Amino acid sequence: MRTRTQRLLNAVQRPEVYEEVLIEASGAPVVLSVWSGESGAPSVVFLPGTMTHPLFYEEFLDGLSRARFNVVGVHLQGHGKSPRTSRLFALEDLIQNGLDTVNYAIERFGTGIFVIGSSQGGILAMALAGKDERIKAVFAHNVLDPSMPESIRITRFPSWLQPYYKTIVGGMKAATRVVPQLPIPIGLYLDDRRIFGEEWTREQYYTDPLGLKSYPLYFLASPFSADMSFLDDGSIRCPAVVIASRGDKLFPLDYVRRIYGRIVAPHKEMLVFDLDRHLIFNECVEEVLPSVAAKLEEYA
């Protein structure tokens, strides 16, 4: 595990197996964090959660590399170490970032690609699985369908607003035509008391010079108009593993199970941990890493 200083500096534990590369994705420069595993081993493409980047999850990703996998973490467009540009991005751009990263991983490490996404990255991971048949299996830590009114439970807005969900979404879309660049802080739509289970992860997130603290309204509105039919129209051609924690305060388990029930894939399963945290890839690495690595080996 990294020390507090290493976390705050976004340092890695084993620089001898780590490097950063720059690719073009969706017409924008995107940085990849690469941990080399065993020669000829399968690769994992990792998609981080809201406003974060792969180095926020260094312990988990380094652990996958120690378990022999090559790991390629995506600093999504405008996130982390990826250069900031004036170009607005939408959910589809981040999905394309992932697809371009899969191309990179195949060219460098060969076939046998797994995709893992956490929280917001879980949506992206499932979307990749619906678009690229070369993916061997997809692992989504939590799943979300923003088009469902029940999704308001994930936000900090009260549940009694659920009947007005479509009206709220329509208002967001209309506002993007007027103020697309309007910055929306994370605390305006998510309750961080449900995100962080440890004070040190809260500190790491809020003091991280690479982390974003807001999204433009243009991006936040994009998931609500995204085509989520890939979940249940048969587009996913690989096994799908949904990862959840029983006491996740941000993604209620019954909500995750409902989305899981809709997923159509050749094979699917849930990996549920008896934990009370949302950031299980950060705060519960020792508990979840062995099971995730073993499941990767099973599909490999």
Q: What is the DSSP string of the chain?
A: ---HHHHHTT--S-GGGEEEEEEEETTEEEEEEEE--STT--EEEEE--TT--GGGGHHHHHHHHHTT-EEEEEE-TTSTTSPP-SS---HHHHHHHHHHHHHHHHHHH-S-EEEEEETHHHHHHHHHHHH-TTEEEEEEES---TTSGGGGGTSSS-GGGGGGHHHHHHHHHHHHTT-TT-EEEHHHHS-TTTT-SSHHHHHHHHH-TTS-SEEEHHHHHHHHHS--GGGTSS---S-EEEEEETT-SSS-HHHHHHHHHH---SSEEEEEE----S-HHHH-HHHHHHHHHHHHHHH-
Indicate whether 111 belongs to any domain: yes
Whole-number pLDDT of residue 295: 97
Given a cut of 90, is residue 241 above it in pLDDT? yes
Indicate whether 245 belongs to any domain: yes
Whole-structure pTM value: 0.97
Given a cut of 90, is residue 147 above it in pLDDT? no
Whole-number pLDDT of residue 255: 96
Find the mean pLDDT for residues 156-169. 90
Indicate whether 186 belongs to any domain: yes
Whole-number pLDDT of residue 227: 86
**Nearest CA to 139 among 249, 55, 265?**
265
Indicate whether 255 belongs to any domain: yes
Mean pLDDT, all residues of the chain? 95
Distance from chain centroid for Cα 83: 19
Strand partners, 16: none
Indicate whether 300 belongs to any domain: no
Whole-number pLDDT of residue 214: 96
Whole-number pLDDT of residue 111: 85
Range of the domain at 283: 4-294
Indicate whether 260 belongs to any domain: yes
Indicate whether 299 belongs to any domain: no
Give CA angle at 57 (256, 147), nearest 5°.
Answer: 30
Indicate whether 42 belongs to any domain: yes
Given a cut of 90, is residue 224 above it in pLDDT? no
Higher pLDDT, 26 or 293: 293
Q: What is the total count of domains within the chain?
A: 1
Give the pLDDT band of residue 230 (cuts 50, 70, 90): very high
Given a cut of 90, is residue 56 above it in pLDDT? yes
What CATH number did the domain enclosing 280 receive?
A: 3.40.50.1820
Given a cut of 90, is residue 1 above it in pLDDT? no
Give the pLDDT band of residue 154 (cuts 50, 70, 90): very high
Whole-number pLDDT of residue 121: 97
